[in-house]
Amino acid sequence: MRILVTGGAGFIGSNLVDALLDDGHEVAVLDDLSSGRESNLEDARARGAVLHRADVREPDQVSRVVAEAAPEAIFHLAAQIDVRKSVADPAYDARTNVEGTINVLRAAVDAEARVINVSTGGAIYGEADVIPSPETVEPLPEAPYGQSKYCAERYVGLFGRLHGLRGATCRLANVYGPRQDPLGEAGVVAIFCGKLQTGERPTVYGTGRQTRDYVYVGDVVGALRAVLAKEDAAGEYNVGTGVESSVLDIVEALAPYAERDFEPVFAPARLGEMERSCLDVTRAREELGWAPTVDLAEGLRRTVEWAARVGA
């Protein structure tokens, strides 16, 4: 199958590209390399993947790439993911996450391609009353980032009703694993792994008892492949583990890998940070036949070993 991955030079996207090539697909990547790394695709390009440097905010660029790649399916991962930047400049956030998605959807309609949209779970649900949160929980984003990703999801549905587009969305929990940049807008696992490499102590904001659902990138890729395999997949699918882990749990699990003191340095809580977030993955398990296979301890081990190997 011919497949286009927007944001394919990024952390999750490049891992997905590798897996799609393993599956025998013909893969093209659309990425402006503003946060993605060309080096993430070095092996993939040697295996035939084609990189198109383009910006999802520019409709003519998106249309050109889609016309050239002629994909049968598009994985849409290109996004603005910095929550703080979304608060400081919500219009910029919306141009990337809402307008960018519209540009991809319009091009997909012209190409008659399926779209598998990649979204966020915790940032969309906000402070949910039900934890783990199923897809039926009312989205109440607490930052423009979550709001823009929710709007993008609604446009996937709209294009289905208006143009017959076949689309589905995966709402991801807190993804971690190889290729996540500890210096970028990364999750706590990547940041703490970076501290391991530099011999620094991790900074914990607030009590450290805030919980998240940490899902290994390989499991996320497995879920995306499961959606691709299900021709009639539609709507939203949570992708996580259904297990809450605190920031202090992460510190404790990483401490044995430290060569120096890894006791956390506590700092004041950050404004607006959620106390709990965890996804119910029942729908993905029942409809896609997918379930996570890598627990937190094993995922952290793999991530630390990768970081040590590349000097991240």
With tokens 């897809």, the residue in question is 135
Catalytic site residue from 145, 155, 176, 237: 145
Which residues make Cβ contacts (< 8 Å) with residue 284, sequence separation at least 6? 223, 226, 237, 238, 239, 290, 291
C-alpha–C-alpha distance, residues 242 and 264, integer Å: 26
Q: Three-state SS for 179? A: coil
- Distance, in Å, from the CA atom of 24 to the CA atom of 16, rounded to the nearest integer, reads 13
How many CA atoms are closer than 13 Å to the CA of 236, on its beta-carbon side?
A: 27
Q: How far is CA 111 from CA 87, 103, 222, 231, in A?
A: 35, 12, 25, 17
Q: Are 172 and 136 in contact (CB under 8 A)?
A: no
- For 117, which DSSP code? E
Measure CA 298 to chain center.
Answer: 20
With 0-12 / 13-18 / 19 or more C-beta atoms within 10 angstroms meaning exposed / middle / buried, residue 190 is buried
Tell me if residue 237 is catalytic.
no
Question: Which residues lie below 8 Å from residue 277, measured CB to CB, with a gap of 6+?
Answer: 121, 122, 125, 128, 131, 133, 173, 174, 211, 212, 213
Separation between Cα atoms, residue 33 and residue 2, nearest integer Å:
22
Under 8 Å between Cβ of 193 and 312? yes
Sequence-distant (6+) residues with CB within 8 A of 309 are: none
Residues 6+ positions from 267 with CB-CB distance below 8 Å: 203, 204, 205, 206
Query: Which residue numbers are catalytic?
Result: 145
